[in-house]
Amino acid sequence: MTPPLRILIVDDEPLARRRLDILLREVDGVEVAGVAAEGAQARRLIDELRPDLVLLDIKMPGLSGFEVLDGVARAGEAAPMVIFVTAFDRFAVEAFDRAAFDYLLKPVEPERLAQAIGRAREALARRGAAERVRELEEIVANLRGGPPEPAAHDREIWVQERGDRLSLPVAAIDWVAAERDYVRLHAGARSFLVRLPLGALEGRLDPRQFVRVHRSSLVRVDRIVRVRRAGGRTSVVLSTGAEVPVSRRHLAGLKAVTMARG
């Protein structure tokens, strides 16, 4: 039996929270995992409950919905999908620029809510399937004695900048973060959002130059200047000053590339 889609409701208006709760009762295969009345509480509940999906208001006391979303994007393995539910249509462009999955206007129509949740469920299923395929490919490659030598790797990635198309040299990329169906390429002080799954991008990059340190991030090997361990957690510090978390699963791979550098 398929487990229910666990949803966190975040809205500072009690009536809005109540309405969403009522509407969700009419959607099959979902479960309200929790309710938050403001942004800081939402962040705590995301960490504690690990919902699959967050229905998130934008204008709230304290942390805004965008600030909550920024925290979600850094959550890596625990990151849920986010659907904004707001009374303001003027934030839609910014929401999608920040990789929100969908954007619903209040008062939310039941059919529109059900449609958005259905699409999110399908996207989560694809994400899980892609991860399982990648894991199987790694296992098969290891059994064969390692991955085959690639024919070629990308030397540039085309990105959007102020409406223009820009060729970004791969050599300029310091690290890459997954943001649901997108990746954010960090290059010096700039970053670019590209509609591409992290696994697909990883296959286009030279594995001798980039190492996976987390389910949601890749770093350029020659940018690593320190491996930091604190409080039972590991991270890598890059020459740019950025600090990227390392998951336990990818510690061995990180150790291998750092030892190879001498």
Averaged pLDDT score across all residues of the chain: 84
Q: Please answer whether residues 82 and 120 qualify as being in contact, where contact means their C-beta atoms are separated by less than 8 angstroms.
A: no
Say whether pLDDT at 17 is over 90.
Answer: yes
Q: Is residue 87 part of a domain?
A: yes
Whether residue 221 is predicted with pLDDT greater than 70 in this model: the reply is: yes
Instruction: Yes or no: say if 181 and 85 are a contact pair by the CB < 8 Å rule.
Output: no
Q: Could you tell me if 9 and 104 lie in one domain?
A: yes
Number of domains in the chain: 2
Query: Which domain range does residue 224 map to?
Result: 156-260
The predicted structure's pLDDT at residue 77: 47
Tokens 């890596």, residue?
A: 76
Domain stop point among 126, 142, 169? 126
Domain boundary among 126, 146, 174: 126
Q: Are residues 61 and 162 in the same domain?
A: no
Assign residue 50 a region (left: φ > 0; alpha: ψ between -120 and 50; beta: otherwise). left
Does the pLDDT at position 194 exceed 60?
yes
Residue 224 resides in a domain: yes
- Distance separating alpha carbons of residues 86 and 190, to the nearest angstrom: 29
Q: What is the pLDDT of residues 77-86, one digit of tens each?
A: 447 888 999 9
Q: Are 46 and 72 in contact (CB under 8 A)?
A: yes
Sorted by sequence, the CB contacts under 8 Å of residue 141 that are 6+ apart come out as: 147, 148
Q: Which residues pair with 229 in a beta bridge?
A: 234
Q: Which of 117-126, 144-153, 182-191 has the lowest average pLDDT?
A: 144-153
171 shares its domain with 223 = yes
73 shares its domain with 170? no
Q: Say if residue 223's pLDDT is above 70.
A: yes
pTM of the predicted model as reported, rounded to 2 decimal places: 0.52
